[in-house]
Structure 1
Amino acid sequence: MKDIDGKPVNLGRYAGNVVMIVNVASKCGNTPQYAKLQELYDKYKDKGFVVLGFPANNFGMQEPGTEKEIKEFCTTNYKVTFPMFSKVSVKGEDAAPLYKLLTSKEANPKFGGDIEWNFAKFLINRKGEVVARIPARTDPADPMVVQQIEAELAKSP
């Protein structure tokens, strides 16, 4: 994978953390979720929580910008500091390997299946297992989501 600046990133660097993987877009009704994702990241990052944002243009052409434009939009409008990655596809034959794994019913029988829209969220525990899939329209700060994050953070690494 490459980060938003085009630098290679090994996702193994996040091993041992509780990770929320989110496909994001700048021109979507769900775009204001960036603010809540940033709040979660700020609140829990020192406890081993990280949000990973993956811009995708799969739904309604709602992420048409370049990586530079996406980064500028996120930092200017939402003060995003959590890790952002280069634009990927999250569905279909050209889906990024990470999203093929996350959506595979074989590899992820409980939470697999096609991404329904921008801002679908996967919660990964410290062991690298998917423990929740949060629908695109669900606010990241929903009490049930926060409870899941806190429960995973409470478990020893």
Structure 2
Amino acid sequence: MTTAYDFTARAIDGRDVSLDVWRGQALLIVNTASKCGFTPQYKGLESLHRRFADQPFQVLGFPCNQFGGQEPGMAAEIAAFCATAFNVSFPMFDKIEVNGPHRHPLYDWLTRKKRGLLGTRSIRWNFTKFLVDREGRVVARYAPQVQPDELEPAVAALL
């Protein structure tokens, strides 16, 4: 059975990272953007990351430019923005596609496991969130409007 830990993605610093390094941890996987109305959610994601820093939990950010061109920068620019504007310390990855024929394999799997509104696999906008349990199974999908602090009880229940 495939789990979230079976995927690899390019980190924002350019190195390939196997999600297996977080095996046994719950994950919150989020497609992000720097110039979106939901961009202030970085603050909430960082807060959630810090709240559970001493527990088996990790937030993973995946920048995407497929929604209104709201993530136009290169990896170094994205990393600098996240660090300076929101003091992001959780792992960030290089830009990926979350929809279409070039959808990253992780997002292909996530959207097969938890479909969105009306059963669609498409990601509708930036800051769609997937919660993964400590066995690597997708347990929930949250719309962009759901604030990170609203996820605290769900995260705590997985730990």
TM-score normalised by L of structure 2: 0.90
Unmatched 5+ stretches in structure 2: 1-8
Distance 1:129 1:110 in 2: 14
Q: Give 3-state SS (helix, strand or coil) of 1:9's partner.
A: strand
- Residue 26 of structure 1 deviates from its aligned partner by 0.2
2:65 equivalent to 1:49: no
Of 132, 150, 153, 2:156 maps to: 150
Distance 1:57 1:2 in 2: 16
Distance 1:88 1:46, change over 3 A: same
Of 12, 17, 20, 1:4 maps to: 12
| 1:40-83 Cα distance to aligned partner (Å, 9 max, x none) | 00010211110000000010000000000000000000000000
Residue identity over aligned pairs, in percent, reads: 46
Query: Which residue pairs with 2:39 in the alignment?
Result: 31
Unmatched 5+ stretches in structure 1: none
What stretches of structure 1 move > 2 A for 4+ residues in a row?
109-112
| 1:73-128 Cα distance to aligned partner (Å, 9 max, x none) | 00000000000001000000000000011112xxx156672111000000000000
User: Which amino acid is the alignment partner of residue 118 of structure 1?
Assistant: N
Any residues of structure 2 matched to 1:119-130 within 5 Å, and which? 119-130=127-138
Corresponding residue pairs, total: 148
- Residue 137 of structure 1 deviates from its aligned partner by 1.2
What CA RMSD, in Å, does the superposition of the two structures yield over aligned residues?
1.1
Query: Which residue pairs with 1:65 in the alignment?
Result: 73
Distance 2:149 2:142 in 1: 11
TM-score normalised by L of structure 1: 0.91
